[in-house]
Amino acid sequence: MKVLVINAGSSSLKYQLLKTKSGEVLAKGNADRIGLDNSFIKHSRNGEEIKVIPVVLADHTDAIKAVIKVLTDKGTGVIKSLKEIEAVGHRVVHGGEKFSTSVLITPEIKVAIKACIPLAPLHNPPNITGIEACEAAMPNIPQVAVFDTAFHQTMPPKAFMYALPYEVYEEHKVRRYGFHGTSHAYVAKRAAELLGKPFVSLKLVTCHLGNGSSIAAVKHGECIDTSMGLTPLAGVCMGTRCGDIDPAIVTFLMQKEGLDAKGIDNLMNKKSGVAGISGVSSDFRDLEDASEKGNERAELALQMFEYQCKKFIGAYAAAMGGLDAVVFTAGIGENVHRVRANIIAGLEFLGMKLDTEKNKARGVEAVISTDDSNTTILMIPTNEELAIAMATEAICSKK
């Protein structure tokens, strides 16, 4: 099936047209600076150089029209007409408690996605805008919503509840939701395939380590716990996000620094994490370089990240009562061997032995543990677009 995958942000709209069966990406790109001046599309056909095409993008409807144009254009296109697109899969960040799977988009579904806006005020509105723009441009093509939160909806209450007054959960739906669900589900299922064992028989920890990082405990085919929470700020420290901190720090700093809600939110989301600690960068390539040149704060940031990830693996092994495999994925998980090595170091008591040579691999599917390691350590490049396309196909074939 040819599926167009759409990831709509507030001022950008990423797209990928791919074939689900082979995973072949026919074309991909990004319509950027929507609603701003100097807007453009960065477009590439499989294996070809990226073309930057200046185009006026007043809103998301313009952006979708422009994407359709580059996909069908004689010079830049990969399809003759829109009819070749069999379905559109939309990444939707927050599905609240309502969505535990992907769904075919109907007017009622859009109302339910809009009802989740208070939980993801920055993400769900552009997601909805992207959906409506596609509906207008492609009225006869099925549209499917694939939620970042859905895979984590199997968590039991003891894992997703916060120990706040119960009414806070009832009235405001304040609870752990978790994110990167499409990626965790994809690499967990792929791990089962690579291990040659049924997904439902395994206890896995999946580590999605990128700009935003989250870790999940996947027991017998279901997520039972994850490190991100009500929002993607929780869990391990990230590029610029602080991750888990003593919650009293929030009011303490608001008083000491005279910050309002927006100010403290900005400090924790944009000025913290490994960037805030190192003062160097949020990018692990820069941190490694700086650390190698003797920058102690860059080294501290790396060590904090590694230590926090290690603790989650230990906690989740305890939560699941064992561990068959640990999976590393996303920008850092797929590329930074020192981070993987330092996370695993000392976890021999959990049956893990890293193979130093195999761990040098980058960006490929690989077993990076030794042959005699009881717990397998895997590196699996994530492919969220393919996972969204496959979920879209699965929903369409149910119709």
Annotated catalytic residues are 148
Q: Does 332 bind ligand ADP (CB under 6 A)?
A: yes
Segment near ligand ADP (CB under 6 A), from 8-16, 109-117, 153-161, 329-337?
A: 329-337
Give backbone dihedrals phi and psi of 376, rounded to 5 degrees, phi first. -85, 140
- Considering only residues 43-102, where is the footprint of ligand ADP by CB under 6 A? none
Looking at beta carbons only, is 151 or 160 nearer to ligand ADP? 151
| Token pair listed for 396 | 């369409």
Give backbone dihedrals phi and psi of 3, rounded to 5 degrees, phi first. -120, 135
Among 330, 343, 354, 387, binds ligand ADP (CB under 6 A): 330
Contact 91, 6 (CB under 8 A): yes
Among 130, 178, 181, 210, binds ligand ADP (CB under 6 A): 210
Binding mask 223-252 for ligand ADP (x = CB under 6 A): ----------------x-------------
Shortest reach from residue 180's CB to ligand ADP, in Å: 8
Distance CA 56, CA 69 (A): 13
| Token pair listed for 16 | 């990928």
Secondary structure tally for the chain: helices H, strands E: 14, 14
Segment near ligand ADP (CB under 6 A), from 39-47, 66-74, 81-89, 207-215?
A: 207-215
- Considering only residues 259-318, where is the footprint of ligand ADP by CB under 6 A? 282-285
Shortest reach from residue 209's CB to ligand ADP, in Å: 8
Looking at beta carbons only, is 77 or 212 nearer to ligand ADP? 212
Residue whose beta carbon is closest to ligand ADP: 331
Distance CA 128, CA 112 (A): 11
Beta-carbon count within 10 A of 19 CB: 16
Shortest reach from residue 360's CB to ligand ADP, in Å: 13
Shortest reach from residue 3's CB to ligand ADP, in Å: 20
Looking at beta carbons only, is 147 or 305 nearer to ligand ADP? 305
Looking at beta carbons only, is 77 or 239 nearer to ligand ADP? 239
Among 100, 211, 231, 370, binds ligand ADP (CB under 6 A): 211
Distances (CA, A) of 80 to 49, 55, 74, 133: 21, 21, 8, 21
Transcribe 280-293 into DSSP letters.
Answer: S-S-HHHHHHHHHT
Shortest reach from residue 12's CB to ligand ADP, in Å: 12
Shortest reach from residue 234's CB to ligand ADP, in Å: 16
Contact 385, 18 (CB under 8 A): yes
Q: In the sheet that 203-209 helps form, which strands lie side by side, from edge to edge? A: 222-226, 213-219, 203-209, 325-329, 376-379, 366-367
- Looking up tokens 């119709």, which residue turns up? 399
Nearest to 291 by CA among 305, 282, 301, 277: 301
Q: Site residues (CB under 6 A) for ligand ADP?
A: 210-212, 239, 282-285, 330-332, 335-336
